[in-house]
Structure formats: C-alpha cells, structure tokens
Structure 1
C-alpha cells in the first residue's frame, strides 16, 4: 500500500479545494476535531497510482487548502462505467470483453492484458503494475467548506459541511447535511439528505435528490435529468426551476415564491 498524509498545520475549520478525477473521496465532518486531516492511499506499492499520490500538488494559504491529485498514467479517461448491485464495470480505450462458455476473452489497444488487484496476470504468473484506485480520506472540523472537482470518483460526505461546491462528471455524490450547496453534475448522481442554505444546481442528464430543503433561495437548471426535492416548512424565498426535456418533482412548496420555465420537460411542483 502507498499512503501519503498531507500536513494541515492550522487549527479550526478550513476551506478544502480538492480536484481528483477518479477513485473515491470520503469526507467526514467531526465537531470534536480541532485540525483537518487528509490522507491519500492506494493498494499498490509502485506503479502509476503510487506515482500519482507522490506527485500530488498541495498548497496551504491560511485556512485554504488546495489539493490536486494528478491522473494516474494509463488511467481511464473518456470511459463508460456501469454500476450494478454495488459493483462497477468500466470500459475505455476501445477494448472489448467477451464471455463465451465460461471463458473470458479480452482484446484491446494494450494487447488484451488482464490485471487483478493491480498486478498483471500472465500465463507464467503475476507481473507488472496497473492503475489501482486512489482513495482520499478527509476529516474536517465543524464549519469547514469544500470545493470538490472530479470526473468519475464516488464521493461520500458525512456530518455537516457549511458549504459544498461540487463539479462532477459520471461520478456520484452522497452527502448528509450541507449549508450552502452549489452543484454542477453531468450524467452523475447527487443525493443530499438535507440542505439548509441557498441551493444552486445545474444538472445535465444526471439525477439530483434533496431529501429536505430548508434554505431561502433555490435555483434548479435541468437538462434531460431528473430532480426530486422536498421543501420543508422552514424554507423561504424564491424557488426557480428551468427544465429542458428533464423531469422534476418538488413537494412542500405552497409557501414559496415559485418560478418555472419548462421546454419539453415535465415539472410537478406542489
């Protein structure tokens, strides 16, 4: 395993700016924590993923922490990911897989190599290195904010973030509780249990679910995606919904100032 702990030599809440295109991101907000902790890890001890961790760019300016994890050489970009029953299959680079009579045939630009747990499997035994997933484990003090940019990483946030800006493509975000939420998602999935502040969401062929919205201003811009949201009695102000060939179902809005614009989409607001 390769592991790198990023030093955060400040006390109290921070503003985290994290860019990591693939892998998994785990953020936990702990009210008892005095100092942020950030750890990058991967199962491989060498190879492209280990190199990417070692080449990560980090800067700390006051309470602002900026982390840039480079793409692992040979990693999957421009890929298609299929998720079924908690498992994933990713296809990229023009390769192909066939399963015939219990046998697996692999072909592709890389010569049809097979990797298991980051090691190449050959007729004579394991050899070589491959891209293994990188995990970012982040622990933040209360009142911290985060900006997360990713392509396909799965992001899970537990606890309460004061503000979250999320920009994702084909990845997924699951969060407990957020104050201010600013989301840009393309063909991904975003689920937030509770939003207590302003909400700004731009969705393209993805899915957005807000369990309980109690902020004072919300704007939802939807293009061929799906939105489900429930406003609470504590929500106030304006709710603006723009939908183009998308579907939005929003409840609990009778006391809000609702503005809608629909182009060949379906919007149900009650």
Structure 2
C-alpha cells in the first residue's frame, strides 16, 4: 500500500479544492477536528498508481472570501492498466467547511454538514448527507442529497438526481434522460425547476413555484 497524508496548517473550517482523475473521495465534517487532514492511498506498492499517490501536490492559500483553503492535485497515472483504486479521505473541521471536486470519474461521498459541495465530473457520482448549497455537473453519474438547506443546481446527461429533503429557496435540475426525484419540506421556499426526458417525481411542493418540463427524446 502507498499512502500520503497532508495536514492543513490553519485551524478551523476550510475550502477544499480537489483535482483527481479517478477513484473515490470521502469527505467527513468533524466539529471536534482542529485542522483539516487529507489521506491519499492506493493498495498498490509500486507502479503508476503508487507514483500518482507519491506525487500528489498539496498547497494552501486564502480563499476569496477570506476563508483558509487548500488544493489537492493528484496527477494522472501514467500507463495505468486499471483506474479507480485511488482513495482520498478528507476530514474537515467544523460544520461550515466546503469542498469542490473536479474529476474524470471519481465518486464523492460527503458525510456531515458542509457549507458548499461541488462536483464537476464526466462519470463520477455524488452522495451528500447535508449541504447548504450543492452544485453538480456529471454526464452519467448519479446525484443524491439527503438534505439541502439553501440551493441545489444539478446537471446530468443520463444520471439520476434524488433529493430527500429540500429546505432551501432554489432548486434547479436539468437532465437529458435521467430520472429526477425531489421532496420539499414545509421550510422550503422559492422555485423548483426541473427538466428531463426521464421520470419526474416531486413531493411536498404545493407551496412552491414549481416548473417541470418533460423533454422529448431526440429523433
């Protein structure tokens, strides 16, 4: 196994920017954690994947809003016969940290309350427990959020989108063919906009401004 670990020098909540070709990313918000900690690993002892883990770059800088941030950049494994078995474990302090993942097909699993969750990926999926805001763009990956407290903006080609409890004031989902399911709570307000060629299911949205559009398949 090859492992590399990084610890942020600035305590408290952080913005995490991750650039990962493939693999699995697990993010956990921990109110008791003083500093952000990132662990990158692969079961391989040597070879392209082990080299990618060893050559991972970590850099800290202030975020535009004055919040501490860091960037994690894993290089594309060279001549790797297999992909997807690099794992990244991110532990973020507090309940207001944020993460943005850009990848080819890495999946993102977010546990605990986070302020902003963002995914831009070709085939990666996203599963989040609680996010203040969530933005996701993926072609074939699925998007699942247990709770959204402010806003959701999701775009997929064929991936499904499921929101268990929308408490916010804005929800927009566009998919070419993926199924979309959104359940709103009485605390939700504002607009819900959904367009897809798949199945649309909404619950608890009578008090909201809802616009659902069923797209026709292209000929």
Tell me if both proteins adopt one fold, taking TM over 0.5 as the criterion: yes
Instruction: Tell whether the 8 Å contact from 2:84 to 2:106 is kept in structure 1 after alignment.
Output: no
1:140 corresponds to which residue?
Answer: 92
1:6-25 correspondence to structure 2 within 5 Å? 6-25=6-25
Choose from 146, 157, 170 the match for 1:193.
146
Distance in 2 of aligned mates of 1:67 and 1:202: 24
1:94 corresponds to which residue?
Answer: none
- How far residue 20 of structure 1 moved from its aligned partner, in angstroms, is 0.9
2:80 corresponds to which residue?
Answer: 75
Asked if residue 229 in structure 1 is aligned to residue 182 in structure 2, the reply is: yes
- How far residue 246 of structure 1 moved from its aligned partner, in angstroms, is 2.6
2:5 corresponds to which residue?
Answer: 5
Task: Note the aligned Cα RMSD (angstroms).
Answer: 1.7
Measured at CA, do residues 250 and 132 of structure 1 come closer, stay the same or move farther in structure 2, by a change above 3 Å?
A: closer
Asked if residue 251 in structure 1 is aligned to residue 203 in structure 2, the reply is: yes
- How far residue 164 of structure 1 moved from its aligned partner, in angstroms, is 0.5
1:89 corresponds to which residue?
Answer: none
Helix, strand or coil at the partner of 2:46: coil
Helix, strand or coil at the partner of 1:52: helix
Distance in 2 of aligned mates of 1:259 and 1:24: 34
1:105 corresponds to which residue?
Answer: none
- How far residue 132 of structure 1 moved from its aligned partner, in angstroms, is 7.6
More strand by share: 1
- How far residue 199 of structure 1 moved from its aligned partner, in angstroms, is 1.0
Asked if residue 174 in structure 1 is aligned to residue 174 in structure 2, the reply is: no
CA-to-aligned-CA distance 1:75-127 (integer Å, 9 cap, x gap): 36xxxxxxxxxxxxxxxxxxxxxxxxxxxxxxxxxxxxxxxxxxxxxxxxxxx
Helix, strand or coil at the partner of 1:22: coil
Distance in 2 of aligned mates of 1:261 and 1:229: 14
Asked if residue 164 in structure 1 is aligned to residue 169 in structure 2, the reply is: no
1:101-120 correspondence to structure 2 within 5 Å? none
2:65 corresponds to which residue?
Answer: none
- Higher gyration radius (CA): 1
Distance in 2 of aligned mates of 1:55 and 1:133: 16
Instruction: Tell whether the 8 Å contact from 2:22 to 2:103 is kept in structure 1 after alignment.
Output: yes
1:28 corresponds to which residue?
Answer: 28
TM-score in terms of structure 2 length: 0.90
Aligned pair count?
211
Helix, strand or coil at the partner of 1:179: strand
